[in-house]
Amino acid sequence: MYQELTDRLTSGIARCVTEEEVRFLWLSELKSTLGVQFQAERERNDAYYNGVVIEFKNAGLFGGKTSSPAFKEAVYDRLDKYIKRRSENEGEDPADYIGIATDGCHVAFAFMQDDQIVHRHLMPICESSVSLVAQALKDAKRRAVTPENLIEDFGHMSPTGAGMMQALADSLMSQLATKGPNKIKMLFEEWRHLYGQVADLSVNQVDDILRSIGFNLTCKQATASFQPHYL
C-alpha cells in the first residue's frame, strides 16, 4: 500500500547526510502522501503530530543496532524528554504518546510504560515498517487543547478561522447595507466612534490590516471605519 512512499524514502536517503536532510526528506514525503501537517522543531522535538513525536538522526547513524550511542540518545534522552514535556504541557497521559526514532535507514517505535520509555525492534526501512509509521500518523486523531493549537487551528491565519471570520463579516456587512435603522447598525456606530477616538492609523497601516486579517470586507462603511478621517 505504501510501496511508492517507501521507494521515495529509500532512494532519497542516499542523498542525505545530516539530520536536517533526513528530517526534510521524511516530513515532505509523509506530508505529500498522508496530508499531515507536522509541527516541526517546536519545543525542541524534531517533528510532532497529534501525539506522535519523531526524532531524526544523521543518515545511517544507528548502524542498524539498538546498542549504538545515537539510538540510545534518540530514545532514552530525546524522545523520553519530549514525551514527558508534551504530556505535562498538554495534560495528557504519557502512555498516550508514540515516539518514533529514525536515521532514515532504520526506524523504531517507543512508548512510555510506568513512567519509563520502552522501545520496540529497530526495523529497516521497508514497506512494512513505513506502513506502521503511516498508520500511526493516520490514527493520531487526538489534538491537545492548548493556546498554540487553538491559534493554529482557529486563528485568523487558519482556513477555519478565516472562514468563520468571513461569515461573521458577511453577516455584519449585510446588516450595515440594509435600509433603515437596526440594533446592529447602532452598536457598530458606537464602536466606530470609540475606535476612532483611540486609533490613529495611517493609510499604509490600514492597508496592512486589511491585507492581514484573512477575510474580505466589501462594505464601505465597514472598511472606512479603520480610516481616521471617517469620524
Domain boundaries, the chain: 3-144, 155-224
Averaged pLDDT of the chain: 85
Residues 83 and 18: their CA atoms lie apart, in Å, by: 24
Q: Is the pLDDT of residue 199 over 50?
A: yes
Q: Give residue 42's pLDDT.
A: 53
Residues 2 and 126: their CA atoms lie apart, in Å, by: 9
What's the rounded mean pLDDT across residues 146-152? 68
Q: What is the pLDDT of residues 13-35, one digit of tens each?
A: 999 999 999 999 999 999 999 98
What's the rounded mean pLDDT across residues 43-54? 82
Kindly give the pairing relationship between strand 52-56 and strand 98-102. Answer: parallel
Return contacts of 137-142, CB within 8 angstroms, 24+ apart: 137/30, 137/34, 137/36, 137/49, 137/52, 138/34, 140/36, 140/49, 140/50, 140/51, 140/52, 140/98, 141/50, 142/50, 142/51, 142/92, 142/96
Q: Is the pLDDT of residue 220 over 80?
A: no
The candidate with the shortest Cα–Cα distance to 45, out of 91, 93, 82, is 82
What's the rounded mean pLDDT across residues 209-225? 65
Least confident of 122-136, 170-184, 187-201: 187-201
C-alpha cell at 153: 487551528
Residue 66 identity:
T
Residues 138 and 98: their CA atoms lie apart, in Å, by: 12
What's the rounded mean pLDDT across residues 72-99? 93
The candidate with the shortest Cα–Cα distance to 22, out of 54, 69, 64, is 54
Q: Give residue 39's pLDDT.
A: 77
